[in-house]
Amino acid sequence: MAETPFPNKLPPYTPMSSLGHELGVMFGFMAACFVIMAVYTFIWRAAQRRNAEKDLARRKNLQAKGVMRHRDGNRVHEKMVDRHAIPANRAELPVHQAG
């Protein structure tokens, strides 16, 4: 048999000390991940609920002050999406015009 220039330098086989311990560590870590995700979800939803309540109170306060009404009596939108003039021939997608 021809010798290769690189000798076989693999470490000797070492049997696993305890499969139960390895599986316990793996499933324990997975359980910890799920618990942390559940706690984070609970905290996130509580924060979102608190922010929604603050926003509702702010909107009611503005409505009570009359800030939500324009001088002519029409409702003023909180976020004006059409505050800039839109050209009449504007097209978002390619449009084929007849004629």
Distance CA 6, CA 1 (A): 14
Average pLDDT, stretch 9-22? 84
Half-sphere exposure of 86 (CA within 13 A, CB side): 9
Query: In the prediction, which pLDDT does 82 show?
Result: 53
Chain Cα centroid distance, residue 92? 28
Total count of residues recorded for the chain: 99
Q: What is the pLDDT of residues 36-92, one digit of tens each?
A: 999 999 999 999 999 999 999 988 888 787 766 666 666 665 555 455 556 666 656
Q: Which pTM was predicted?
A: 0.51
Residues β-bridged to residue 69: 75
Cα angle 31-33-34, degrees, rounded to a multiple of 5: 65
pLDDT of residue 10: 82
